[in-house]
Amino acid sequence: MEEIVTGEAVVLDLPCARFPTRILARLIDIAVEITALFLIAILAGAGQAGHLLDAASVAAVLLTGFVLVIVGYPVACETLSRGRTLGKLALGLRVVADDGGPERFRQALVRALAGAVECWALVGVPALIASMLSARGKRLGDIFAGTFVVRDRAPRPAAVPYQAPVQQAGAYPAGFAPQPVLTPVDPGLRPWAAALDLSALPDPLAAAAASFLSRYWQLTETTRDQLGRQLATDVAARVSPPPPPGVPPAVYLHTVLAERRNREFARMMPATGYGWDGGGGGAFPASPPAATPRWPAPEDTSFTPPQ
129 occurs within a structural domain: yes
The domain containing residue 251 runs over which residues? 169-301
* Residue-level pLDDT at 66: 95
**pLDDT at residue 143 above 50?**
yes
Residues 9 and 135 in one domain: yes
Residues 191 and 232 in one domain: yes
**pLDDT at residue 170 above 50?**
no
In terms of C-beta density within 10 A (0-12 exposed, 13-18 middle, 19 or more buried), how is residue 155 classed?
A: exposed
306 occurs within a structural domain: no
* Residue-level pLDDT at 306: 52
Residues 134 and 185 in one domain: no
Per-residue pLDDT tens for 184-193? 777 778 888 8
Residues 129 and 179 in one domain: no
Q: Distance (Å, rounded) from C-alpha 72 to C-alpha 77?
A: 8
215 occurs within a structural domain: yes
* Residue-level pLDDT at 28: 95
* Residue-level pLDDT at 222: 84
Model pTM score = 0.52
Residues 232 and 98 in one domain: no
3-state SS record for the chain: CCCEECCCCCEECCCECCHHHHHHHHHHHHHHHHHHHHHHHHHHHHHHHCCCCCHHHHHHHHHHHHHHHHHHHHHHHHHHCCCCCHHHHHHCEEEEECCCCECCHHHHHHHHHHHHHHHHHCCCHHHHHHHHHCCCCCCHHHHHHCEEEEECCCCCCCCCCCCCCCCCHHHCCCCCCCCCCCCCCCHHHHHHHHCCECCCCCHHHHHHHHHHHHCHHHCCHHHHHHHHHHHHHHHHCCCECCCCCCCCHHHHHHHHHHHHHHHHHHHHHHHHCCCCCCCCCCCCCCCCHHHCCCCCCCHHHCCCCCC
Among the candidates 102, 124, 151, a domain finishes at 151
Among the candidates 95, 119, 151, a domain finishes at 151
209 occurs within a structural domain: yes
* Residue-level pLDDT at 154: 54
87 occurs within a structural domain: yes
Residues 140 and 27 in one domain: yes
Residues 9 and 39 in one domain: yes
Residues 180 and 290 in one domain: yes
Percent of the chain with pLDDT over 70: 73
Residues 26 and 139 in one domain: yes
**pLDDT at residue 171 above 60?**
no
Tell me what the mean pLDDT of segment 14-34 comes to.
89
Per-residue pLDDT tens for 197-254? 988 899 888 888 888 888 888 888 888 888 888 899 999 989 988 888 888 888 889 8
Residues 222 and 141 in one domain: no
Overall domain count for the chain? 2
Confidence of residue 267 (pLDDT cuts 50, 70, 90): confident
Least confident of 51-60, 227-236, 249-258, 278-287: 278-287
Confidence of residue 265 (pLDDT cuts 50, 70, 90): confident
Tell me what the mean pLDDT of segment 119-128 comes to.
90
* Residue-level pLDDT at 278: 38
162 occurs within a structural domain: no
**What's the longest Cα–Cα distance across the chain?**
93
* Residue-level pLDDT at 218: 82
Higher-pLDDT residue of 59 and 155 is 59
* Residue-level pLDDT at 293: 47
Among the candidates 99, 119, 151, a domain finishes at 151
Least confident of 145-149, 156-160, 216-220: 156-160
Least confident of 83-92, 249-258, 270-279: 270-279
* Residue-level pLDDT at 99: 82
Averaged pLDDT score across all residues of the chain: 78
- Highest-scoring range by mean pLDDT, 81-90, 148-157, 183-192, 238-247: 81-90
Residues 23 and 121 in one domain: yes
73 occurs within a structural domain: yes
Residues 196 and 146 in one domain: no
* Residue-level pLDDT at 183: 66
233 occurs within a structural domain: yes
Tell me what the mean pLDDT of segment 151-178 comes to.
46
